[in-house]
Structure 1
Amino acid sequence: MTTRTWDVKEQFRFPQSFGVPMEIKNVAVTPQCEIAEKEDIVQVVGIYHITCHVKFEEGEHEHHATSEFTEIEDLDLQGEVGYFEYAVPMSIEIGKDKIKEGSKPTVHVNHINSKPTQQMAIEIGWTVHCDYDEAPAPAPTPTPTPTPTPTSVESFVDLESPNPAEPMEVKNPSGEEFELQFILDLDDGYSKLSFPSNNVFVKQKADE
């Protein structure tokens, strides 16, 4: 369950003929609302219905017009106590992705308080609680593991090289290397002598 909470207050003024408001005898605030669903939001619309008894005393006060006050013209006066009702508009919006599917938000109020003000008016305040079942968090999408692509690399390595990791350089035989290969390929009737590469190559004809 998730609860959103905020405070609301309203100030009221009355005709001078009623006198000066001195005491709030009792006050009640009742939310009356309905649920309206739109494309991507859930909207709670309605009113906060206020009922209040105010005690007046004789006296005059300056009456300054101001947008901060709500003017109450119709008062049911019984002796020194006047009774009035008033509806404060209500509009609450909640994203559909925040509310569990199939559930609906509810609204209630508490901490209702009231007092006369220095402007010869009264102030009524209350705390609003909007409760709703929160939608479960979406499961995280697993990140696919990339499949390694097999590669085949062939290289010929000279094992006698100082650095075996380096491929051996292959060259076509030329010069003295060619002559050595020629001697080794001679037909029978010739003697074949092999010497280290740093010596002179020697060829002898076989004895006839």
Structure 2
Amino acid sequence: MEVKNWDVKEQFLFPASFGVPKEVRTVAVTPQFEQKETEEAIQIIGIYHITCHVEFEEGEHAHHATSEVTQIEDLDVQGEVGYFEYAVPMSIEIAKDKIRSGSSPTLNVQHVKTRKTEHAAIEIAWSVHCEFEGPNQEEIELEIEIEKKIELEPISEEKETKETKETKETPENEQAKREESELQFILDLDDGYSKLSFPSNYVSVKTKTEEE
């Protein structure tokens, strides 16, 4: 079983007319998602659905909202307690070679915490716990066997013939071909030419024509 954990957090700021947050009464974070499959990965796409009751008290905001803070404009207020809901986008991707074929990952939220910030906002943080079955031993061995098969793929006959021919074209072979060609040239001479051989101890030989 493979386990992955990561943290998510979101800050919320409320209209000044409500005052400043005094306490978070209740909070819940519920993952809502669907699973999709591509050629290379398993995708989990959805939201973290937040529901929260916040108690307010009189006070002034220390600053304006920034890009890191989510502005909540509408609350359901009952006395000094305001209720709101919010959805944080979720997108998770697991490579197919990391998960067992035919299995599905499970995902849940743990350790939900809240705190007041120094800028009259609240922060909600939680941990995401994702479990999935890793590839079994047979699948791993199959992948290794496929890789070995690709690496040991034989050279084609055409390529082997070409490389063998190039290997044989060495200087020694070329010399042998030239000598064979010269010998054939001598053997093909017309009968009008004399073909003589001389003992190695002869310094010179005079032909009949030279004596005359």
Counterpart residue number, 1:111: 111
Q: Contact between 1:16 and 1:63, CA under 8 Å: does it hold in 2?
A: no
Partner of 2:203: none
* 2-structure distance, mates of 1:110, 1:96: 26
For 1:88 and 1:65, locate their aligned partners in 2 and report how far apart those are by CA, in whole Å.
Answer: 18
Instruction: Give aligned pairs, total.
Output: 144
Q: Which residue of 2 aligns with 1:192?
A: none
Q: Which residue of 2 aligns with 1:99?
A: 99
Q: What's 2:11 paired with? A: 11
Distance of 1:45 and 1:129 partners within structure 2: 15
Counterpart in the other structure of 1:129 = 129
* CA drift at 1:60: 2.0
- AA partner of residue 44 (structure 1): I
Q: Deviations over 1:153-195 (max 9, x none)?
A: xxxxxxxxxxxxxxxxxxxxxxxxxxxxxxxxxxxxxxxxxxx
Structure 2 gap ranges (5+): 153-212
Deviation of the 1:59 alpha carbon: 2.0
- Secondary structure of 1:101's match? coil
Q: Aligned partner of 1:37: which letter? A: E
Q: Is the 8 A contact 1:50 1:85 kept in 2?
A: yes
Name the amino acid aligned to 1:40. Answer: E
Q: Structure 2 CA distance, aligned partners of 1:65 and 1:81? A: 21
- TM-score relative to the length of structure 1: 0.66
Rg (Cα) greater in structure: 1
Q: AA paired with 2:96? A: K
- The residue number in structure 2 matching 1:40 is 40
Runs of 4+ in structure 1 deviating by more than 4 angstroms, as ranges, are none
Partner residue in 1 for 2:84: 84
Distance 2:65 2:111 in 1: 29
Structure 2 counterpart SS, 1:97 = helix
For 1:61 and 1:11, the matched residues in 2 are separated by 15
- Letter aligned with residue 85 of structure 1: E
d(CA) in 2 for partners of 1:120, 1:60? 8
1:107-142 Cα offsets, whole Å, 9 max, x none, are: 101100001110100000000011111112411447
Q: Secondary structure at the match of 1:17?
A: helix
Partner residue, 2:29: 29
Offset at residue 38 of structure 1 (A): 1.0
Alpha-carbon shift at residue 92 of structure 1 (Å) = 0.2
Q: Provide the rounded CA distance (Å) in 2 between the counterparts of 1:31 and 1:113.
A: 16
Identical positions, percent: 62
More helix by share: 2
User: Shift of residue 63 of structure 1?
Assistant: 3.7
Cα shift readout 1:56-78 (whole Å, capped 9, x = no counterpart): 00122234131010000110010
Q: Distance in 1 between matches of 2:56 and 2:97?
A: 50
The letter of the residue matching 2:29 is: V
